[in-house]
Every structure is written in C-alpha cells, then in structure tokens.
Amino acid sequence: MTYSALARKWRPATFDRVIGQEAVIQTLKNSISEGRIHHSLIFSGLRGTGKTSTARIYAKALNCKNGPTVEPCLECDACKEIAEGRDIDVMEIDAASNKGVDDIRNLKEIVQYPPIRDRFRVFIIDEVHMLSTHAFNALLKTIEEPPSYVVFILATTEPHKIPATIRSRCQIFEFKKIPQIKIVRHLKDICEKEGINIDESALKLIVDASEGSMRDAQSLLDQIISFSGDKITEEDVSVVLGIPDSTVFFKIFKAIVNDNRKDIVDILDKLEERNTDFVKFVLRLGEFFNNLLHAAIKGEKEFFPEDLRDKKFSIEDILRYLNVILQNERFVRDAFSPRIAVELLLFKMVFASKVMPIAELISKKKLIIESNPSQSGRESAFPEGKSVKGEIREKKESDVLNFVKKGFEDFQEIAPILRKAGLKEEDDNIVVTVHVLPDSVKEIIENKVFKTIEGNIHIRFKRKVNLKLETEVDVKQSVSETETIANHPLVKKILTEFDGRVERIIK
C-alpha cells in the first residue's frame, strides 16, 4: 500500500474540520446558505493555515449533488473527484509555474464554456501573487465580469502583491495563524489514531517550530515519527529539529540569576555542537521568559525548579530580561555569527540583573544621609558643571554672604561686575549693591543669577532669602578728573573721527 503523508491524510474534508479559522468558515457557510455566492474570492494568510483545503471544500459545497450545501456529502462523484484533484470542472492552477500572459489567455478561453457536469466551474489559482503584471491585466476583465457559472478562488501568502484593481473586485478572507493550543490538540488526536505515544513537551516543541502552520506541524511530526518510531520524547524532537528542550532554558535562567557566565558559555558550546538554529533559539528564549513572567505574576511557584524558588528575583527582573531579548532579537538575526550575538545577549541579561531600581537607590541614599549627617555637607552648592573650574564646591561656608559672593564666580559673563558688588544682610533679604548697569545685564542678574543662588542658599542653609539689586552712581569720580579724561587728545581724536560724544565716564 502506498504511504500517504500525514499532511495529506489528515487534510480537512469539510468546513467543520478546518481548524483555527472560525470567522472565515462561518462567513463562507452563511454565503452558501443564503445564496450569496460571490464570483471571486481571495484567501490570504500564512502557509499551511488551510487556504487551499478550504478552497476545495468550498468547491465541493457548490458542486455536491445535494448542493449548494454547507455539508457536502463526500460520497458523490463531484465530492470524490474534487478531493482527489481530478474534477474536470474544478481547476487548480499553480501561478508560480503558470504565471505568463499566455497561461491566463488559455484560462480565459476555458471560462467561456459552461461546466461539463458540475453546477459551477471553479478556478483555484494558488500563489496568485506570482502572476506577472501582464497576466494580471489579462485576468482583470474576466475577474470583473465572469459568467454566472464561474467562481475564482485566489490563494496567496502575500496579498499586498496583488494589484489593487484585482483586490477591489474580490471578497478577501484572511487566514490567521492557528493558535498553538489547537495545533497541539489536533496533533495529539492524530497520534492517538496513528498509535503514536508522544510526550506533551515534545508536542510543544513541534508546535513552536511550526510557527502557527498546521501543515508544517504535521510534516514535522511525520519526520520525527520516521526518526523515533511509535514513541517520541522531547529529546528526540530536540535532536531532529535542532531546537533546545525546556531544560536548557531553565539552566540558562539559573546561570543568569547566579551570575555564572562560564555555565552560559558551556551551554552555548553544546548547543552549537548540535547545530542549533540560534535565531529560533532566541525566539524560544523570549517565549520561555514570557511564560516565566506569567508564572511569577500568577504566583505559580511550581513552574520554577526547586533550586530557584527561594532565589531573590522579582517581576521587574524578568521584565528587564524580556526587554533585553526584544531589543537584541533583530541584532541576532542580522549578525554575522548568531552564536556570538546570542552570547552577548545573555551576558547583557546577566548585567541587567544587577540594575537597581531608582526608587530603591533613592531610598538607600536617604538612609545613608540620615545615618551620617556629615555627608549632607558634601553636597554640591551649585549644579555640577556650572563652576568655572568644573569642580564641586563643598559647603563649608558658615556665612551666607560669603556663600553668595562665591556663587557670583559661576557666572562668567558678568562675574567682573558682581565681583565688585557690595553685600549686606537685612532681615531675610540680602542686598547686592553695584554701579548703574544696562537693563539687559540687570535682567540677567535678577532672573538668572539671583534665582539660582536663592535656590542654592535654601538647599545649603535650609533658609529662604531674597536677593535684591540696588545700583548707585559712582559719586567719587570728581568733575576735574572727568574733564581731564574727556579732554584727552586721544579721546578727542576718536570723537572727531567717529562723530561721537561722551555719555558717561566709568572708572
């Protein structure tokens, strides 16, 4: 007897056996029940999610002797021949190998003739996005206004490559990734009927590798049965597919928590010897830590190995690990050596475990200051970087006025003016007396200099003060001295050359 692959043997034959596409199936069944049969459909989605199988079931439903019906009998000639791919009125065309304009012209010739036996002539065009631009143009008119007995079903994994002119004339059905739990359930059912004994953890590995494709999962199961026979363990799947089992991830997690970098290198060396796909490894690592996060949130301690249950790591730690994986996943994909990239990723996770939360850091700093008051005197009087010399000044001044005077040195553009300022303390005010200044400089002093120094006084002395600016004219300057300067030959020459006059003389 000829062997039939599991993916073919267990291909769904009716709508109810299609797994994980409930919305699509319900819509198709309703359209048949209500007689709203559209002339052109697009089935798009990931490989192995049931597009072509559903197209065949739809063709059976339309052409069954009891039809159109949502439950084809599977016994009539039409149902049997469609299932076997030999119905003369249901044509399956591979667009990857029949993508030229001549192929589509031949199809247009066939469309003109009514079905020989069936109710509808159905054209299933697989991988339709592979058609050439000219072929799409040739198909356009036929798709738009086909004869009443013609139904087109276009299957594709890349719907964005189908021209908008074609898409706008079709009903589009999106086939989604099949949930893992449904694939596991279906594979388990297949194994029971095939007499295969398989571990739950082995099924999980197969499903992870299938990436939401039922056909891929069935093909992988077929391959592993050939390797292991009728008893399959997680170790068998790991060897065949080059995917590490769950124990490896727990070992890595333990090495990260214990800051054991040698163990990490040893684990990666063993994985490399087994030709592990490190890109897929990172994807599974992310899933592992995501499951770890869920277990920690739900308080499921049994998920963790016994030697890790008493370790001090928090949900925040696991979140940091996950964040490192997400940030470096593409880096691993694009790296010249995925193994080296994974090693760097795991070391980053080790360092991430040493990060201290900001709240905890502030709390510890507070405790240190409270337990050692002398440390508070070592705080910088001004924000770091504002000092001319770039050094943090210690707050040892006991005199507020001296503190203010030193503060003036941090403002280079006006320090020479402030250096000559007089200071006096009056109640809660400190009066700064300087010579008459331009308004722009006054504004700088009052809005920038004073505000900064007032804030730093409050920090340093725990005291609120207001700095006030007073200006005075230098009256010590004698008239005779002023006249002497104004009558100086050099000054007169400059005034003559530039047609100027003396406004004020400041010494």
Q: Which of 175, 192, 210 is the last residue of a domain?
A: 175
pLDDT of residue 493: 74
Across 14-23, 138-147, 471-480, least confident range = 471-480
488 within some domain: no
At residue 42, the 3 state secondary structure works out as: strand
Q: Comparing 388 with 108, which gets the higher pLDDT?
A: 108
User: C-alpha angle with apex 38: 35 to 43, nearest 5 degrees?
Assistant: 125
Q: Comparing 451 with 389, which gets the higher pLDDT?
A: 451
137 shares its domain with 186: no
317 shares its domain with 237: no
341 within some domain: yes
- Written as one letter, the residue type at 44 is S
Band of the pLDDT at 363, cuts 50, 70, 90? low
Give me the CATH number covering residue 55. Answer: 3.40.50.300
Band of the pLDDT at 90, cuts 50, 70, 90? very high
Q: Comparing 367 with 326, which gets the higher pLDDT?
A: 326
Across 260-264, 313-317, 478-482, least confident range = 478-482
21 shares its domain with 143: yes
pLDDT of residue 397: 39
Band of the pLDDT at 355, cuts 50, 70, 90? low
pLDDT of residue 360: 58
Domain, as residue range, for 464? 400-472
In 375-480, DSSP assigns E strands to: 422-426, 429-435, 466-472
189 shares its domain with 142: no
Band of the pLDDT at 425, cuts 50, 70, 90? confident
Helix, strand, coil percentages for the chain (3-state, nearest 5):
55, 10, 35
Q: What is the mean pLDDT of the chain?
A: 81
pLDDT of residue 308: 66
Give me the CATH number covering residue 206. Answer: 1.10.8.60
CA atoms within 13 A on the CB side of 349: 32
Q: What's the total number of domains in the chain?
A: 4
- Asked if pLDDT for residue 250 goes beyond 60, the answer is yes
pLDDT of residue 364: 55
**Percent of the chain at pLDDT exceeding 90:** 31
289 shares its domain with 346: yes
Runs of H (alpha helix) within 85-163: 101-111, 133-144
pLDDT digits (tens, 9 = 90+) for 252-303: 888 888 888 899 999 999 888 888 888 888 888 888 888 888 888 887 776 7
pLDDT of residue 392: 36
Give me the CATH number covering residue 289. Answer: 1.20.272.10
Tell how far CA 18 is from the center of its chain. Answer: 31
486 within some domain: no
pLDDT of residue 477: 45
pLDDT of residue 440: 65
What phi and psi values does residue 470 have, to the nearest 5 degrees?
-125, 140
53 shares its domain with 163: yes
**What residues does 140 pair with on adjacent strands?**
none
- Asked if pLDDT for residue 326 goes beyond 70, the answer is yes
167 shares its domain with 251: no
377 within some domain: no
pLDDT digits (tens, 9 = 90+) for 120-172: 999 999 999 999 888 998 888 888 888 999 999 999 999 999 999 999 999 99
17 shares its domain with 164: yes
335 shares its domain with 256: yes
- Written as one letter, the residue type at 386 is K
273 within some domain: yes
209 shares its domain with 262: no
- Asked if pLDDT for residue 398 goes beyond 60, the answer is no
pLDDT of residue 386: 43
pLDDT of residue 247: 81
66 shares its domain with 163: yes
- Asked if pLDDT for residue 461 goes beyond 80, the answer is no
Residue 166's nearest CA partner among 124, 146, 145, 136 is 136
Tell how far CA 279 is from the center of its chain. Answer: 16
Compute the average pLDDT of residues 245-255. Answer: 85
Across 35-44, 235-244, 436-445, least confident range = 436-445
Across 35-39, 41-45, 236-240, least confident range = 236-240
296 within some domain: yes
Q: State the residue for tokens 């052109």.
A: 40
Across 72-76, 271-275, 366-370, least confident range = 366-370
Q: Ranked by mean pLDDT, which of 10-19, 140-149, 269-278, 441-450 comes out on top?
A: 10-19
442 within some domain: yes
Q: Which of 151, 175, 199 is the last residue of a domain?
A: 175
226 shares its domain with 196: yes
Tell how far CA 333 is from the center of its chain. Answer: 14
Query: Whole-angstrom Cα distance, residue 230 to residue 224?
Result: 10
493 within some domain: no
Q: Which of 323, 352, 381 is the last residue of a domain?
A: 352
pLDDT of residue 385: 43
pLDDT of residue 334: 87
- Written as one letter, the residue type at 204 is K
Band of the pLDDT at 43, cuts 50, 70, 90? very high
Compute the average pLDDT of residues 378-406. Answer: 50
The 3 state secondary structure assigned to 313-342 is CCHHHHHHHHHHHHHHHHHHHHCCCHHHHH
Q: Comparing 442 with 17, which gets the higher pLDDT?
A: 17
Query: Whole-angstrom Cα distance, residue 95 to residue 132?
Result: 9
Give me the CATH number covering residue 445. Answer: 3.30.300.180
